Amino acid sequence: MPRKTMIEAIRDAMDVSMGRDEKVVVFGEDVGFFGGVFRCTQGLQAKYGKSRCFDAPINESGIVGTAIGMAAYGLRPCVEIQFADYMYPAYDQLTQEAARIRYRSNGDFTCPIVVRMPTGGGIFGGQTHSQSPEALFTHVSGLKTVVPSNPHDAKGLLIAAIEDPDPVIFLEPKRLYNGPFDGHHERPVTAWSKHELGEVPDGHYTVPLGKAAVRRPGSAVTVLAYGTMVYVAQAAAEETGIDAEVIDLRTLLPLDLDAIVASVKKTGRCVVVHEATMTSGFGAELAALVQEHCFYHLEAPVARVAGWDTPYPHAQEWDYFPGPARVGRALIETMEA
Amino acid sequence: MPRKTMIEAIRDAMDVSMGRDEKVVVFGEDVGFFGGVFRCTQGLQAKYGKSRCFDAPINESGIVGTAIGMAAYGLRPCVEIQFADYMYPAYDQLTQEAARIRYRSNGDFTCPIVVRMPTGGGIFGGQTHSQSPEALFTHVSGLKTVVPSNPHDAKGLLIAAIEDPDPVIFLEPKRLYNGPFDGHHERPVTAWSKHELGEVPDGHYTVPLGKAAVRRPGSAVTVLAYGTMVYVAQAAAEETGIDAEVIDLRTLLPLDLDAIVASVKKTGRCVVVHEATMTSGFGAELAALVQEHCFYHLEAPVARVAGWDTPYPHAQEWDYFPGPARVGRALIETMEA
Amino acid sequence: MTDALRFHVPEPEVRPGGAPDFSNVPIPKAGSVPRPPIDVDPRDIRDLAFSIIRVLNRSGEAVGPWAGLLTDDELLEGLRHMMTLRAFDARMQMAQRQGKTSFYMQHLGEEAVATAFRKALQPGDMNFPTYRQAGLLIADGYPMVTMMNQIYSNEADPLKGRQLPIMYSSKEHGFFSISGNLATQYVQAVGWAMASAISGDTKIAAGWIGDGSTAESDFHSALVFASTYKAPVILNVVNNQWAISTFQGIARGGAGTFAARGLGFGIPALRVDGNDYLAVHAVAKWAAERARANFGPTLIEHVTYRAGAHSTSDDPSAYRPKAESDAWPLGDPIVRLKNHLVLRGVWSDERHAQAEAEILDTVIAAQREAEKHGTLHSGNKPSVRDMFEGLYAEMPPHLRRQRQQAGV
Amino acid sequence: MTDALRFHVPEPEVRPGGAPDFSNVPIPKAGSVPRPPIDVDPRDIRDLAFSIIRVLNRSGEAVGPWAGLLTDDELLEGLRHMMTLRAFDARMQMAQRQGKTSFYMQHLGEEAVATAFRKALQPGDMNFPTYRQAGLLIADGYPMVTMMNQIYSNEADPLKGRQLPIMYSSKEHGFFSISGNLATQYVQAVGWAMASAISGDTKIAAGWIGDGSTAESDFHSALVFASTYKAPVILNVVNNQWAISTFQGIARGGAGTFAARGLGFGIPALRVDGNDYLAVHAVAKWAAERARANFGPTLIEHVTYRAGAHSTSDDPSAYRPKAESDAWPLGDPIVRLKNHLVLRGVWSDERHAQAEAEILDTVIAAQREAEKHGTLHSGNKPSVRDMFEGLYAEMPPHLRRQRQQAGV
Ligand SMILES: Cc1ncc(C[n+]2csc(CCOP(=O)(O)OP(=O)(O)O)c2C)c(N)n1
Ligand SMILES: Cc1ncc(C[n+]2csc(CCOP(=O)(O)OP(=O)(O)O)c2C)c(N)n1
Ligand SMILES: [Mg+2]
Ligand SMILES: [Mg+2]
């Protein structure tokens, strides 16, 4: 099977979707002629024309706002926000409009849009190119939130998101665009061509929203992760020698609670990891759910490893990033608790 | 001591602050001549002039954005967002700017602003006049978030917020403006004049940010609440006869974790309540912290009672609102767990 | 030495206690503004952003180049729509006072704007209205009973009690689901219009916004996108002089008019007498033709006056003179159209009085019918199940759990 | 039958492979635009939003009503500032390539804008810059070593490694902490200016934004507030023709110019030749005087060209012809000022070459000095403690716990 980078897989997903359904349109800042600053839309304008793939003014609220109007008309817009850090101007449209149109109109109007945005740090992007705002979406009823961790899933999930009848936030961990990154920034980069999850089937397929995947089976402790942290967690398990079961959530909302509960009931311990700021991060929801549903199986408190409660700094990037050492320490502490 | 409504107490806090410090300015939509749709700024323009209290264009981003600029100049703006539901256009300015200016400039510039906004439901305001977005602020490093539950605290906390050197989000539970409301909407309304926390000292005093208050001592279970839910929790305790300790958090960030941990270690059980949507609400953070810090003292899972994961509906307002019956049920279940 | 800077806060001419004063509002003579061809270069009509297009003059005649588009029957229908809207408002206002619903917003004095506009559109076109354009529904024959069911949040409420009163939605009638958040839908209208153009369709969209709400950022987004992609959209600004207690000068700032905002985008911007049914219709028609002929967006400022309170939660006597509405120089839209029709010999005071009575009967009948299905606090209601349903096409597991927890 | 609608997407004149073409950019003759009095009624100068104020003509003479404000010494200083900025850019660009920092953004071709503007301000005035106005710092004598320390995120970085390279902050030099989020600071500039007016101060503010970023909503917020409260602020739009790969037509839409945006707000809007040091300075001075004299805001569109890449992460050959920069009709700002000074007899090719060498030496010396304090990946760094500190005036308990957890 062909191996692709995550960028190629994402592009492929849009290509396949645009080819199958002429209602799918793609736009965003620098998305048209140039093909996006991460090149995820490269070639789509040339292939499908300027009416299906085009550059947008630098106005995230306008990008999402017009996409909502298009969706109400009957199109299926898949728009790009250049960095998740720049979604804030669109937050009103996403949370107060996209998320609610079906509900408040009792289905008279719907909003099948996908909003893609690169997320996470690890590229020395500082506080305005590194954010992970997933918890700001999971708190909003009416949205779905997806975070792929590999090219195979990225393509299948994105196609599923585009075909979904409701608004989907699609967060792309930019540090994974070119390879599985386990947090060892001092080591050479691995490419997707070397990884089995870099295998991306041609043509149409979907990975269903709302289903987690076990990336590393284990019996001692459950690690709940998504995006880049999936690889960090795997590395931490290897390096500590702890028999951790690493679950890649893939979709945060709807959440695959069954998979989580089954694993934690088996292992009796749980560590939750994410790159976003700790307080009120999605890890809080995960920890709350796990202790609620697995209380009598837990042998240790659910631990959280996350970005510190500061903006993402530039020089201290690797002190901020919750790398394998910090996750490893949490695994050990959780085992010893 | 004089008894005041929460509206009068809030107005008094601004009056006292404006009188003491000419750097304090107040503005927002309908805030000037008219004195605000909830009348919290009534009389301030007449007393301090149009330069200190004025009407703003309907542009929440502009209100907060200009306030940030004013703070950088050296003023201390205290602005009003007409309803918390309308803060979303300002979310970018609040989270990406106000919250970060001190940090990113290493203290070269600071941002001592207060952003007041009425929050919560219970007035048949439907999905756009009922929201409780506190978790969207607590996830953002650099902000402080305050939720008063009575006139005495509202005045003291608001003065403290205005004097605070950093940006403070000040959420005013609108259902408490005129009296302590315990969720029994079918009963006659109690007025603040009948409640001891309606006693508001004249002149200057502060209630420090970051300190919780025990509203009802108890030994069986700890209830963590803020705003309107403080009274709902008290009612639930009375009605179930469960000896619950009700803690009014008052400030969500910085959080008084010591007070929480001390109580839960004593009671061994904990119920967290809030009006906001459950998933990724601030209750998730509280549950996560409690199980982390009190794991070995907990005799039951930390329970959450919150608004359902839907927009706040109009007709089904009281089915949505987590009233004393639902909180009571959680207390009983937690005691029986 | 430089003088100290001074802070400038715009103020209305008068406040309660003062005598209403509109002497600073220049009112051009009816018929005096030319009607440009629809392919006009926007640069050639910049002055239209500072004038007011008017058709009905003080004597009730329809004059000038914008006159003559509507038949007597159409005008009589328009009159009936405005009268219906006014009667509807009065009843619903009262129903709110009686506790039958939580909230209401009326259109008093602004009835011409949406009713006349609607008749310039074609089936399939889409409006993105604010809370003050129920005239669009009335003029399109949307059943009043359904509107009332929504207002009452009763068992027959098409929106299942989820939305605030008056936040209607009807795709069939080209009326997009209203949002309580101001201005958000202005840019959605542009997106809808872009989608129509992308699809090679012939349908156009119309966005609606109030004077105060033009200050919101989405107003700018809408203009940027409409201007860039030449979207087939009509961008309406209803300048009713007030935004709750805030006079239009706060939103407008130093610009002479709201229409002027269009100039910075190369969008043709017209001001129209919003209390003149014929003028509103003619200008709307011009803009609709432009949009449909691929000439792109038009900005229309409807100059009118909010004669009533902002909503049932508001009392305007706190911030403006009580008699200000009577002094409004553009008069009452119903009286003006009535006078015109009387002058044309197709209407009379008697027929008007009779029509008023008939309309009231119809509205009351609709109200009775609606109340059979209940009102907010009595009778049958949308169910608690309805609260959990319809958020997603398929209910996700966590919501199913919550619904079970709620016991429904 | 109505034709189908068509979707319109603006396109630049040429793409890579094509021959650069600026024939559609009308360039008025230097000296041809009048200089109105500062108390002019904005309505009387609407045409200035569609022209370009220019002082230096093709022969290098300073002509017309906007000429004559600066002495030879001041001009020589201006030349030095521009040359310094260009040399600084070249070294830092290289430093980034050498891995000494993560990122850099240069000003190539736009050096006149900020350097000339800065000299029209007074001490205490405040700029709210974007990432492409380092010229403000250079022209105000901010130490290059400090700038480099920030770029290197080294132990002497005044921002403690927390901010991206080039996101400087200096209250002392009237330079507000730069944000990576576009446009947010435009409205903050207005707020700062409002505060100055509220305080009865004499200081004014200047906001900065790029052509592409005018599409952002905060641009609108800024204009609304500035217009309403007549804030003493200068609102600069730097139109360098490109926003990363997106040509200015996408942001500008159907408006002829970005300055035109001011017209809808009653804000005087001027376009200036951004590659003409004298013109930028003269226009800035005019706007500053207006602001200080309580006449309110001015919008200035600086017409220039981004000759380099957007940033070190960008390669413009993918989206525009390689030689487009050479074809830019307003020339190079350094060459133009140099020619003028040579013509005036106060400068020569030799002295220019010598100055170039001297400046390079100074920049290199500053760089050596800065590198003593380390570069991004080598040498001493801001500490991990620095990461936790300075977020709040007083560190809250949860952050103290996290810092302890981090072992610092
Ligand atoms: C984003 C947002 N901010 C504030 C409000 C509160 N609000 C509701 S109506 C209104 C005034 C609107 O005035 P205008 O746009 O002139 O419309 P009008 O009511 O006059 O028709 C305000 C401030 C809101 N609904 N949404
Ligand atoms: C809110 C936001 N959206 C998008 C970006 C990404 N971005 C950075 S610079 C840029 C282009 C800006 O172009 P322009 O305003 O013309 O300024 P120039 O770079 O030409 O000086 C974009 C899209 C951002 N930084 N912030
Ligand atoms: Mg209005
Ligand atoms: Mg640019």
- What is D42-306+326-377's CATH topology? Rossmann fold (3.40.50)
Instruction: Express each pLDDT in C219-250 by its tens digit.
Output: 999 999 999 999 999 999 999 999 999 999 99
Q: How far is CA C69 from CA B92, B227, C277, in A?
A: 47, 59, 11
3-state secondary structure C321-365: CCCHHHHCCCCCHHHHHHHHHHHCCCCCHHHHHHHHHHHHHHHHH
Whether ipTM exceeds 0.90: yes
CB-based contact C216:A127 (threshold 8 Å) = no
CB-based contact D288:D234 (threshold 8 Å) = yes
What number is the average pLDDT over the span D336-360? 98
Q: How confident is the model at residue C24 (pLDDT cuts 50, 70, 90)?
A: confident
Cis before D12? omega within 30 = no
Residue C159 token pair: 């929106």
HSE-CB of D387 using CA atoms within 13 angstroms: 26
Q: C181 in ligand 1 pocket by Cβ < 6 Å? A: yes
Residues of chain B with pLDDT under 70: none
HSE-CB of A291 using CA atoms within 13 angstroms: 35
Q: What is the mean pLDDT of chain D?
A: 97
Ligand 2 atom at minimum distance from D211 CA? 16
Report pLDDT for A1.
80
Is A103 at the interface with chain D, CB within 8 A?
no
The three-class DSSP label of residue D116 is helix
Q: Which residues contact C37 (CB under 8 A, 6 or more apart)?
A: none
Q: From ligand 3's centre to the CA of C302, what distance in Å?
A: 11
Judged against a pLDDT cut of 90, whether residue D24 lies above it is answered with no
Q: What is the spatial distance between Cα B153 and Cα B250, in angstroms, rounded to a whole number? A: 8
Q: What is the spatial distance between Cα D109 and Cα B78, in angstroms, rounded to a whole number? A: 43
What number is the average pLDDT over the span D64-77? 97
The residue of chain B with its CA nearest to that of C392 is B310
Judged against a pLDDT cut of 80, whether residue C346 lies above it is answered with yes
Question: Which subunits have 3 or more CB–CB pairs within 8 Å of chain B?
Answer: A, C, D
Provide the strand spans (E) within D109-255.
Answer: 126-128, 205-210, 233-239, 242-243, 246-247
Q: What is the spatial distance between Cα B249 and Cα B254, in angstroms, rounded to a whole number? A: 10
Of D10, D196, D265, Cβ closest to residue C254 = D265
Q: For A57-73, b where at least 16 C-beta lie within 10 A, e where not — what string? A: bbbbbbbbbbbbbbbbb
Q: Does the beta-carbon distance from A75 to C396 stay under 8 Å?
A: no
Ligand 2 surroundings by CB, under 6 angstroms = A 29, 58, 82, 86, 89; D 132, 180-182, 210-213, 238, 240, 242-244, 306, 310
Q: What is the spatial distance between Cα D279 and Cα D272, in angstroms, rounded to a whole number? A: 7
Residue D95 token pair: 């430093």
Q: How confident is the model at residue C218 (pLDDT cuts 50, 70, 90)?
A: very high
Ligand 1 atom at minimum distance from B88 CA? 1
Question: What residues form DSSP beta bridges with A214?
Answer: A247
Q: What is the spatial distance between Cα C249 and Cα B32, in angstroms, rounded to a whole number? A: 14
Q: Which residue has the tokens 């969209």?
A: C205
Q: For D291-310, b where at least 16 C-beta lie within 10 A, e where not — what string? A: bbebbbbbbbbbbbbbbbbb
Q: C170 in ligand 1 pocket by Cβ < 6 Å? A: no
Query: Which residue, among C245, B69, A60, has the nearest Cα to D226 in the 3D structure?
Result: B69
Other Cβ atoms closer than 10 A to B196: 10
Residues of chain A with pLDDT under 70: none
CB-based contact A63:A70 (threshold 8 Å) = no
Chain A residues at the B interface, defined by Cβ less than 8 Å, are 85, 88-89, 91-92, 95-96, 99-100, 103-104, 127-128, 135-136, 138-142, 253, 276-277, 279-285, 287-288, 291-292, 295, 298, 300-304, 309-311, 337
- Residue nearest (by alpha carbon) to ligand 1 atom 17: C210
- Mutation to probe ligand 2, out of D213, D238, D303 (largest number of atoms < 8 A from CB): D213
Q: Does the beta-carbon distance from D162 to A33 stay under 8 Å?
A: no
DSSP letter for each residue of B150-203: SHHHHHHHHHHHHHSSS-EEEEEEGGGSSS---S-TTSPPPPGGGSGGGB--SS
The residue of chain D with its CA nearest to that of C187 is D217
Task: Provide, as residue numbers in chain C, all residues whose Cβ is less than 8 Å from the Cβ of B125.
Answer: 102, 164
Report pLDDT for C1.
56
- Residue nearest (by alpha carbon) to ligand 2 atom 3: A86
Instruction: Express each pLDDT in C169-178 by its tens digit.
Output: 999 999 999 9
Q: Work out how many CB contacts closer than 8 A connect B with C.
A: 124
Report pLDDT for D1.
55
Instruction: Express each pLDDT in C77-128 by its tens digit.
Output: 999 999 999 999 999 999 999 999 999 999 999 999 999 999 999 999 999 9
Chain B closest-CA separation from residue D395 CA (Å): 9
The residue of chain A with its CA nearest to that of C173 is A108
Q: For C143-162, b where at least 16 C-beta lie within 10 A, e where not — what string? A: ebbbbbbbbbbbbbbbbbbb
3-state secondary structure B281-308: CHHHHHHHHHHHHHHHHCCCCCEEEEEC
Of C160, C181, C217, Cβ closest to residue B59 = C217
Q: For A79-89, b where at least 16 C-beta lie within 10 A, e where not — what string? A: bbbbbbbbbbb
Report pLDDT for D2.
72
Of A92, A104, A210, Cβ closest to residue C396 = A210
Q: What is the spatial distance between Cα C296 and Cα C290, in angstroms, rounded to a whole number? A: 6
Query: Which residue, among D333, D328, D302, D340, has the nearest Cα to D52 in the 3D structure?
Result: D302
Report pLDDT for B1.
80
HSE-CB of C394 using CA atoms within 13 angstroms: 9
Q: From ligand 2's centre to the CA of A31, what distance in Å?
A: 14
| Torsion A137-A139-A140-A146 (CA) sign | positive
Return the H-helix or E-strand segment holding C163.
Answer: none
Q: What is the spatial distance between Cα B210 and Cα D171, in angstroms, rounded to a whole number? A: 31
Extents of the domains making up chain D = 42-306+326-377
Sheet containing C298-303: give its strands across.
C126-128, C205-210, C233-239, C298-303, C269-273
Is A55 at the interface with chain C, CB within 8 A?
no
Is A166 at the interface with chain C, CB within 8 A?
yes
Q: For C180-204, b where at least 16 C-beta lie within 10 A, e where not — what string? A: bbbbbbbbbbbbbbbbbbbbebbbb
Q: Does the beta-carbon distance from A282 to B287 stay under 8 Å?
A: no
DSSP letter for each residue of C32-98: -S----TT--GGGGGGGGGS-B--B-TTS-B-STT---S-HHHHHHHHHHHHHHHHHHHHHHHHHHT
Question: Helix, strand, coil: what percent of chain A each, to 5?
Answer: 40, 20, 40
Amino acid at D231: A
Q: Which residues contact D303 (CB under 8 A, 6 or more apart)?
A: D52, D239, D271, D272, D273, D274, D275, D330
- Mutation to probe ligand 1, out of C164, C219, C244, C319 (largest number of atoms < 8 A from CB): C244
Q: Does the beta-carbon distance from B92 to A89 stay under 8 Å?
A: yes
Q: From ligand 4's centre to the CA of A125, what distance in Å?
A: 21
Q: Does the beta-carbon distance from D246 to A55 stay under 8 Å?
A: yes
Ligand 2 atom at minimum distance from D310 CA? 19
Q: Does the beta-carbon distance from B314 to C102 stay under 8 Å?
A: yes
What number is the average pLDDT over the span D273-279? 98
Show the domains of chain B with their CATH numbers: 6-198 (3.40.50.970), 213-336 (3.40.50.920)
Task: Provide, as residue numbers in chain A, all residues whose Cβ is less than 8 Å from the Cβ of D398.
Answer: 279, 309
3-state secondary structure B213-248: EEEECCCCEEEEECCCHHHHHHHHHHHHCCCEEEEE
Q: What is the spatial distance between Cα D237 and Cα D248, in angstroms, rounded to a whole number? A: 12
CB-based contact D338:D275 (threshold 8 Å) = no
Would the pTM of this model clear 0.90, i.e. be above it?
A: yes
